[in-house]
């Protein structure tokens, strides 16, 4: 976990917090790569752009359909054999980790944001880091906040 991930996890970031300058600088830095990713034709070009956005190597087994959106990128971790369908949005300042063999459906939103207003006053819920894979059984579809098992996918022998 990076120093910034720890900071975000342990504190509520207020508008006057000096860490916002660092966050905004990273957002400005990844924006051209996000544009490049969404204009790329080949999977290799998309993985290269995603590697710059996340600051990590992206395995050649990862497949990305565009458009793909992220508001930060550096707290997004992607395993092997991951499939990201069209229109996926990651709000990853609070950390998102996709383990191996994860498929994210079209127009899915994975959001990890902290707010200065308490969840009760916002009418919302606390957010926490998202880890897709650890608690999801194989061949299972989950949805919602918090994630719940919707159904399992039966595999045929064919």
Q: What is the DSSP string of 80-94?
A: SS-EE-TTEEEE-TT
Whether 9 is covered by a domain: the verdict is: yes
Residue 146 clears pLDDT 80, i.e. is over it: no
Instruction: Tell me how many domains the chain contains.
Output: 1
Whether 71 is covered by a domain: the verdict is: yes
Rounded CA-CA distance 78/15 in Å is 30
The CATH number for 99's domain is: 2.160.10.10
Whether 158 is covered by a domain: the verdict is: no
Q: Residue 130 is part of which domain span? A: 3-152
Residue 156 clears pLDDT 90, i.e. is over it: no
Q: List pLDDT tens digits, range 54-110.
A: 999 999 999 999 999 999 999 999 999 999 999 999 999 888 899 999 999 999 988
Whether 67 is covered by a domain: the verdict is: yes
Query: What is the enclosing helix (H) or strand (E) of 20?
Result: helix 19-39
pTM confidence score: 0.78
Rounded CA-CA distance 83/101 in Å is 8
Q: List pLDDT tens digits, range 21-43.
A: 999 999 999 999 999 999 999 99
Whether 34 is covered by a domain: the verdict is: yes
Whether 117 is covered by a domain: the verdict is: yes
Alpha helices in 11-140 (DSSP H): 19-39, 43-54, 119-122
**Does residue 141 sit in helix, strand or coil?**
strand
């Amino acid at each position: 976990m990076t120093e910034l991930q720890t900071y975000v996890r342990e504190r509520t970031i207020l508008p006057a917090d000096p860490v916002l300058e660092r966050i905004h600088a990273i957002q400005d830095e990844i924006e051209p790569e996000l544009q490049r990713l969404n204009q790329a034709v080949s999977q290799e070009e998309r993985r290269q752009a995603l590697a710059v956005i996340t600051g990590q190597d992206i395995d050649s087994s990862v497949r990305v359909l565009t458009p793909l959106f992220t508001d930060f990128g550096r707290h997004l971790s992607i395993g092997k054999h991951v499939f990201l369908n069209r229109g996926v949005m990651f709000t990853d300042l609070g950390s998102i980790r996709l383990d191996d063999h994860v498929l994210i459906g079209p127009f899915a939103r994975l959001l990890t944001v902290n707010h200065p207003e308490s969840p009760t006053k916002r009418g919302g819920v606390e957010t926490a880091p998202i880890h897709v894979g650890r608690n999801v059984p194989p061949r299972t579809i989950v949805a919602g906040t918090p994630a719940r098992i919707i159904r399992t996918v039966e595999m045929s022998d064919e």
